[in-house]
Structure 1
Amino acid sequence: MDTLIADHIAITDLFTRLTRLLDEKRWEDAGTVYTDDVTVHSPRGGELHGIDKVVGFLRQAEAGGEHTQHTSTDLLVEVDGDRATASANSFVYHYRDGQAPHFTGGLRQYTTAVRTPAGWRFREMRIMPAWRREG
């Protein structure tokens, strides 16, 4: 397979692995999607530096009995050697077991990914809300 195509597929897969990790609350697997020195910019968490800070924020942000379903779409990937920029539109649905979502949001994610010995990982992520709906 052409290396560029394989890189595009791997980075697309990285977004999917991130959404599953978030929905399943598998914080111990954060190293499979983020570099140790990751920086995440988000309106809820501010600017977080390092995987431990990101995981700490995710754990602290958990709401009892609440689940999420993240989806990413419209991925655009630009690979330049061992570095890539990628963006996606994402939808996040917050719900409780057996109930319709009580909060839904649309986000835009802008990322930098790097090739590591373990595969592609996000080194930087900027999360920008586009819209939200409650109820």
Structure 2
Amino acid sequence: MTEVPAAASAAPQLLAAYAWLIDDRRWTDFGEVFTDDVVADYEAFTCRGADALGSRMESIHAGLDATQHLVGSVLVTDRAGGVRVRSHVQATLVRRGLPGGSSLTVGARYDDRIVRVAGGWRIAERRTRGLWTRGNRDILPWMADRGRFEPSDSPQKGRHT
């Protein structure tokens, strides 16, 4: 019997919980949405484990004045290897006082595999793919140096997954 109906109910809540964890800076609570052994590929880095991912996100977001993560277009499917959830995210990051502007908005896609655990559903695998940026990339210096995205306000060219 497929898990898709139950997962389809849980997935939007799970993704919203992740967005709020980031925006509320609750780095030690990543176990609420990720499995202990999650494998998370964010293109610029890969982590294994909810605690390691929380620590990495804390370091990436250090120095930011505010963030807002909006997740939508949630699609749940039953595929080989388990229940898959695809979604879009727009993350706006704010660091006031920088030359070139105080905000950066990133458009990306999450491809997740979620699993049912005793406490509900958790993300067991995440693959994030950046699609576009708008604003001051110097807000996240490692992003400005990557060369993965095309200039601000334009869609990503090249590989699409």
**TM-score scaled by length of structure 2:** 0.72
TM superposition shift of 1:53: 1.6
1:43 aligned partner: 43
- 1:19-49, Cα deviation, whole Å (9 max, x unpaired): 01111011121111000000100123x2211
Match of 2:76 in 1: 77
The answer (yes or no) to whether the contact 2:64–2:93 under 8 Å persists in 1 is no
Deviation at 1:52, TM superposition (A): 2.2
Aligned residues of 1:72 and 1:91 also touching (Cα < 8 A): yes
For residues 72 and 101 of structure 1, what CA distance do their matches in structure 2 show?
Answer: 22
Q: Looking at both structures, which has the greater relative contact order when contacts are Cα pairs under 8 Å and sequence separation is at least 6?
A: 1
Q: Pairwise mapping of residues 21-32 of structure 1 onto structure 2 (< 5 A)?
A: 21-32=21-32
Seq. identity, %: 28
Question: Residue 11 of structure 1: CA displacement?
Answer: 1.4
Aligned counterpart, 2:143: none
Relative distance call for 1:68 and 1:30 in structure 2 (3 A) is same
Query: Where do 5+ consecutive residues of structure 2 fail to align?
Result: 137-161
SS of the equivalent of 1:61 reads helix
1:125 corresponds to which letter in structure 2?
R
- Which aligned runs of 4 or more in structure 1 are off by greater than 6 angstroms? none
Distance 1:126 1:18, change over 3 A: same
When structure 1 is superposed on structure 2, of 55-64 and 12-21 the one drifting more is 55-64
AA of the residue aligned to 1:29: D
What displacement does 1:66 show? 2.1
Q: 2: CA distance between counterparts of 1:65 and 1:126?
A: 24
TM-score (norm 1): 0.85
Aligned to 2:105: 104
RMSD over aligned Cα, in angstroms?
2.1
Q: Show CA shifts across 1:87-118 (max 9, x none).
A: 00110111257xx9610110011000000011
Structure having the higher Rg = 2
Secondary structure of 2:62's counterpart equals coil
